[in-house]
């Protein structure tokens, strides 16, 4: 099996294409590939396949390091678009990718960055992230919800970017309880399918800082859907203006978003190395 390792601001991926080879994405196999000590090492494993319909160019599946399948990955979308274009699987810089929930469009820009149409975010709707509103201890202050996790009362806003996110506002991102609260809330029964937990701090009129605990992967250096969710939330509730500069631990992303419209995520996508396994 041939693979390519790529990264988007340190959010790293193993990309496997199935246009010229076969690969069965069993959970145990994904875990072995993603293992940083005994495998290749990655936050997610990305599987590319041929189109199965007229509304897209390639299929795009996302698997977390624990073997679970995710609905969406913005940094991954940028990387697979660069991969497909640079490796000659397409001659068009505009590439339609079918995930398990929607078709997204990635545009490889002349400067090497990739701009992704992430679709329209859904901010504040618990149904969009499959929340269980009858969860014991959940306090409904829609569009915010409060819940005690890791011995702390947490206020969060549900945001869907095609995958479920919960946004938590903090005034001290560097010391936020990302590991403990993020781990507990990402797998809490309040979310039927789990959620990415997004911690956001507004730092200026057009800038936010973000840290994300991704379900199935833990805290990553950057998270495209988490950054998108943070920006959509910030424009909606924190009076942040678009374009939004999102500062992650791995670097900066640009998000363009107007209320009620699709959201666009722009950032780098870098090659790390190619390899093969038996």
The Cβ of residue 134 has, within 10 Å, a number of other Cβ atoms equal to 7
Through-space distance between the first and last CA atoms of the chain, rounded to whole angstroms:
6
Give the closest residue to 80 by CA, choosing from 111, 100, 104, 102. 104
CA–CA dist 210, 247 (Å, integer): 6
151 an active-site residue? no
Choosing from 73, 79, 157, 165, the catalytic residue is: 73
CA–CA dist 21, 39 (Å, integer): 20
Query: Residue 105: which residues within 8 A CB-CB, separation 6 or more?
Result: 94, 95, 96, 97, 116, 117
CA–CA dist 266, 41 (Å, integer): 25
Query: Residue 78: which residues within 8 A CB-CB, separation 6 or more?
Result: 8, 106, 113, 114, 116, 224, 265, 267, 268, 269
The Cβ of residue 94 has, within 10 Å, a number of other Cβ atoms equal to 14
73 an active-site residue? yes
Choosing from 79, 157, 165, 223, the catalytic residue is: 223
CA–CA dist 61, 165 (Å, integer): 18
Catalytic residues: 73, 223
């Amino acid at each position: 099996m041939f693979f390519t390792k790529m990264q988007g601001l340190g959010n790293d991926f193993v990309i496997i294409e199935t246009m010229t080879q076969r690969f069965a994405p069993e959970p145990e196999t994904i875990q072995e590939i993603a293992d940083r000590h005994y495998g290749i090492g990655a936050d997610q494993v990305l599987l590319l396949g041929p189109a199965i319909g007229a509304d897209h160019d390639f299929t795009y599946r996302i698997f977390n390091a624990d073997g679970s399948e995710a609905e969406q990955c913005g940094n991954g979308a940028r990387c697979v678009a660069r991969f497909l274009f640079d490796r000659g699987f397409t001659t068009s810089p505009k590439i339609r990718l079918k995930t398990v929930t929607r078709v997204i469009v990635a545009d490889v820009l002349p400067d090497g960055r990739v701009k992704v149409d992430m679709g329209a975010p859904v901010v504040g709707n618990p149904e969009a992230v499959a929340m269980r509103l009858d969860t014991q201890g959940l306090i409904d202050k829609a569009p915010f919800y409060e819940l005690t996790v890791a011995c702390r009362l947490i206020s969060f806003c549900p945001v869907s970017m095609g995958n479920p996110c919960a946004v938590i506002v903090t005034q001290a991102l560097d010391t936020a309880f990302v590991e403990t609260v993020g781990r507990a809330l990402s797998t809490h029964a309040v979310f039927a399918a789990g959620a990415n937990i997004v911690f956001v701090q507004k730092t200026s009129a057009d800038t936010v800082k973000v840290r994300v605990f991704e379900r199935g992967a833990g805290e990553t250096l950057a998270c495209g859907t988490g950054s998108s969710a943070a920006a959509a939330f910030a424009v909606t509730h924190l009076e942040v203006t678009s374009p939004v500069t999102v500062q992650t631990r791995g670097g900066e992303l640009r998000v363009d978003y107007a209320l009620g419209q699709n959201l666009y995520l722009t950032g780098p996508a870098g090659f790390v190395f190619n390899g093969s396994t038996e």
